[in-house]
Structures are given as structure tokens and as C-alpha cells.
Structure 1
Amino acid sequence: MDIAGSIALVTGANRGIGRCFVDELLARGAKKVYAAARRPELIDTSDSRITPLRLDLLDQKSIVDAAAAAQDVTLLVNNAGIATGAQLLTGDLDTIRLELETHLFGTLQVIRAFVPALTSNGGGAMVNVLSVLSWVATEGTGSYAVAKAAEWNMTNGVRLELAGQKTLVQGVHLGAADTDIMAGRDVPKIDPADVARASLDGVQAGAVEVLVDEPSRFVKAALSGDPAELYGPPPGN
């Protein structure tokens, strides 16, 4: 797919990776970018090609309204998400459900709302921003990792269901980017702009999966081996 001349919608577009997608799409010649967020008034609209929209993954009406307002979309970037830090054994179950409602069901509702537009416009591309935590859990990320694992396989299922509709479905995996959601975490972080660049390079090349950084490449390669490579030996060994 050629980004130049495309009409895109990016969720979570007011900051972080989402804002970098908006900027990169514009730099590559997108005709229009719908910048969607829970608070669209926070979106920088200094470029006339940006159209702000309200879209909340937990508010179905906002999703339906956004889809009705953006029926010309040819490229959908599902980036919006949350990270609660809830532990699986001790965390509040409603908080854990909130992660799943956001990343799995919220993103799926957006996809379902925009597939008719992508189909009627002759197909296009869909990008789901996932995580290395789609494949591995680390200390303090249990709830988020479960939700991203679910979103990853949802992405695979949607890809199969859209195979005959000329729509590329891409999953993007990364370790940590220097965004507000990762503030305070003492881990190596990449520039969020690198995520947008790598993803859109992949869209133009027809790539169904993009591994942005070394952590995502390492974990993906390790999945075919002994889980002890990722989690260490069993207790007592």
C-alpha cells in the first residue's frame, strides 16, 4: 500500500506512539489523517490535513460515531491502550477485565466499525500496535501481557477473516518506547517515532508483522525453544 494519498485514522493520537503515527503519515504524503482520542481537544491541528475525532475504546457510541464521520478511511491504526500494572493473583479483577475490555474488545469494536469503510473503499491496511508482552510476561506486567496476548491472536483471526477483502492486517511488536505510559520504568526505551516509521515501512512492503526492536526479535525467536530461556529454571533447580 502506498501511504501517499491515503486517508488514515489513528487511535490514541494525542500523544506518544499515536502522535508519531500522525506525524509520519503526514510526512509520507497522507491526504488526510483522522486523529482520534478520548479528548480530541488536546490534538495539535496545526496541519490542515488533521481532523480530530473523539473515540474512546470503552464507549461504543463514540466508536460508531467516529466510523460514521470517517467513511473514507483506507488505513486504520489501532494504537490506543492502557497499562494498569495490575497483578494477576492479587490485583482487582475489575481492573484486569478493564485491560481486556480495552485492548481486546475495544480494539475489536473499532475494527468491526471500520471494516465496512475499508471494504467499500477497495481495501487498504490495518495496523494493530501490540507488544513484546504479547508473547512473554515480565514482573509487574501480568494483566497487560494477558490483554496483549489476546489482542495479538485477535489480530491473527481478523487477518484471516479479511484475507479476501484486499486489506493488509499488520501486527507491530516492540519492547518499550519512551512514552507517558512507560514513564518511571527504568528499562531501555526506543524513540516512539521508530515504531511509526518501522510500521509504515512494513505497510508499504506488505508486511503482516513488524518487529521494531531487539527485545521483540529476541522473544519471538525464543518462542520455539525451552521456556526456561525466557523465565529461568523451575523453582528448586
Structure 2
Amino acid sequence: MRVRGSVAMVTGGNRGFGLAIAKELQERQAAKVYVGVRNPAAFEEDGLLPVALDVTDPASVAAAAGQCGDVTLLVNNAGTGAAHPDGSLDPDLIQTTERVLDVNLYGTIRTTQALAPVIVDNGGGAIVNVLSDEAWYALPVLTGYAMTKSAEWSFTNALRVDLRPRGVEVLGLHGGFMDTDLVRDLDVAKSDPRDVAAAALDGLEQGKEEVMADEQARLVKRSLSTDDGYYLHPSVLG
């Protein structure tokens, strides 16, 4: 898909990776870039069009879709996470993961189901789902987040099969940690969100259906078919 001339919606576009990819879309001459934010009045970025959007609220999603009837490219970026001090045995794991599921998985489903028909009606286009290399492994402290990204990856794979014959490309973006607020307290190597945004849109324009945004993601993906997959002994924090 050509980014130039497209009309994009980026969920969770007020900061971090969402803002980085919204600006990259601008640089590549998208005709219009909507950014889904909770508080449009507080958003001030030249040329980007804020739209009130809470991906956990079906009414908000429906209203945003009604406001953005010219969209041809959806970037499902809105996401959150939670730390589990006791890992997979954390007694609060279910409770804390419910919110993460509602944003990362159900939020992606809500916005996709609202805007995919719009994209089809506009002659086709693309959907980019911002996933993670943690779809394929889990650090105990991020057990819930990893579970949601595994589920979101499965949804992305089903969505791709559904939408391909309708003229809508579906790209899954996998990467390691990015230098955003979500992981600012983790002492790990982090990619520049601008580099990941460029890699994602390069892949989209090249017709790719998955993009590994960094070497960490490529390492994890390569190991999946081996007898000693990375997910068995993850060492990203070691």
C-alpha cells in the first residue's frame, strides 16, 4: 500500500510510538492523519487531527468511526501494560490483566470492527496492528502483557485471512522494547520509536504482512521452529 495520499487513523497517537508513526505518516505525505486520543483539547501537533477515542468504550469507538469516514489506513497502536512482581504466580494477575486485555486485545478488535468496513467501502487499504516480540515469549514480570500480545497476534492472523480478499492488507508489527513511557523504568536496550515507525511503513509499502522491527524480534522469530526456542529461556533482562 502507498502511504502517500492515504487517510490514516492512529489509535493512542498522543505520545510514544503512536505519535512517532503519526509524524512518519505526515513525512510520507499521507493526505490526512487522524490521531485517536482521550482528550483532543490537550493535543497540539501541527497537521495532525485529534479525534476523541477511548478504545475500551464501544460508544466512543463508534463515534470516532463515524467522524473518520474517509479512512484507508488504520494503525492499532493503543496499548498498556502492568508489572507483576510475583510473575505468573502473582495473586493479582487476573485482576491486573483484565485492564490490559481490554485495551490491547479488545480495544484492537473494537476499532478494527468499526473501521475495517469503512476501509473496504473506501476501496481498500491497510491495517497495521502494533504487536510485540512478547507475543512469542513471556518475561514473568510482564506475564499479562505477553498474554494479551499473543492473543492480539492470533486475532491479526485471522483478520488477515478475512480481509485479504476484500482489498485490505493486514500487517503485524513485532518489536522489542521501545524508548517510551511504558518501559521507561526498565533497564534494557530500547529502540527509537521513529526508527520502528519507519520500518513499519517501509514494510507496508513493500507489501509485507509482518515486520520485525529490530534484531531482538528477528532473533525470537527465528527461534520458534528450533528445539531450543527463545521462549524457553528468555534472556532479554539478563
Provide TM-score, normalisation by structure 1. Answer: 0.94
Q: Which amino acid aligns with 2:151?
A: A
Correspondence for 2:220: 219
Residues in 2 aligned to 1:32 and 1:218: alpha-carbon distance in whole angstroms: 35
Say whether 1:209 aligns with 2:210. yes
Residues in 1 aligned to 2:31 and 2:229: alpha-carbon distance in whole angstroms: 48
2:69 corresponds to which of 64, 71, 83: 71
Correspondence for 1:54: 52
Residues in 1 aligned to 2:99 and 2:224: alpha-carbon distance in whole angstroms: 27
Task: Give the superposition deviation at 1:91.
Answer: 4.2
Q: Is the 8 A contact 1:202 1:210 kept in 2?
A: yes
Residues in 2 aligned to 1:158 and 1:222: alpha-carbon distance in whole angstroms: 25
Moved more, 91-100 or 50-59: 91-100
Correspondence for 1:36: 36
Q: Which amino acid aligns with 1:196?
A: A
Q: Is the 8 A contact 2:220 2:230 kept in 1?
A: no
Residues in 2 aligned to 1:227 and 1:135: alpha-carbon distance in whole angstroms: 13
Q: Is the 8 A contact 1:35 1:43 kept in 2?
A: no
Correspondence for 1:14: 14
Shift of the 218–71 alpha-carbon distance from structure 1 to 2, 3 Å rule, reads same
Say whether 1:146 aligns with 2:144. no
Task: Give the superposition deviation at 1:5.
Answer: 0.8
Correspondence for 1:100: 101
Q: Which amino acid aligns with 1:58?
A: T
Shift of the 228–19 alpha-carbon distance from structure 1 to 2, 3 Å rule, reads closer
Shift of the 7–228 alpha-carbon distance from structure 1 to 2, 3 Å rule, reads closer
Say whether 1:89 aligns with 2:89. yes
Shift of the 219–45 alpha-carbon distance from structure 1 to 2, 3 Å rule, reads same
Q: Is the 8 A contact 1:76 1:126 kept in 2?
A: yes
Task: Give the superposition deviation at 1:226.
Answer: 2.1
Shift of the 8–231 alpha-carbon distance from structure 1 to 2, 3 Å rule, reads same
Residues in 1 aligned to 2:103 and 2:175: alpha-carbon distance in whole angstroms: 19
Shift of the 62–214 alpha-carbon distance from structure 1 to 2, 3 Å rule, reads same
Correspondence for 1:119: 120
Task: Give the superposition deviation at 1:101.
Answer: 1.7
Moved more, 172-181 or 51-60: 51-60
Q: Is the 8 A contact 1:78 1:128 kept in 2?
A: yes
Residues in 1 aligned to 2:211 and 2:227: alpha-carbon distance in whole angstroms: 24
Task: Give the superposition deviation at 1:138.
Answer: 1.3
SS at match of 2:88: coil
Residues in 2 aligned to 1:221 and 1:101: alpha-carbon distance in whole angstroms: 30
Q: Which amino acid aligns with 2:27?
A: A
Residues in 1 aligned to 2:228 and 2:104: alpha-carbon distance in whole angstroms: 25
Residues in 2 aligned to 1:173 and 1:88: alpha-carbon distance in whole angstroms: 23
Task: Give the superposition deviation at 1:229.
Answer: 4.7
Shift of the 95–146 alpha-carbon distance from structure 1 to 2, 3 Å rule, reads same
Moved more, 79-88 or 113-122: 79-88
Percent identity reads 43
Moved more, 222-231 or 198-207: 222-231
Task: Give the superposition deviation at 1:231.
Answer: 2.8
Q: Is the 8 A contact 1:211 1:217 kept in 2?
A: yes
SS at match of 1:226: coil
Correspondence for 2:164: 163
SS at match of 1:218: helix
CA RMSD, Structure 1 to Structure 2 (Å): 1.4
Q: Is the 8 A contact 1:178 1:189 kept in 2?
A: yes
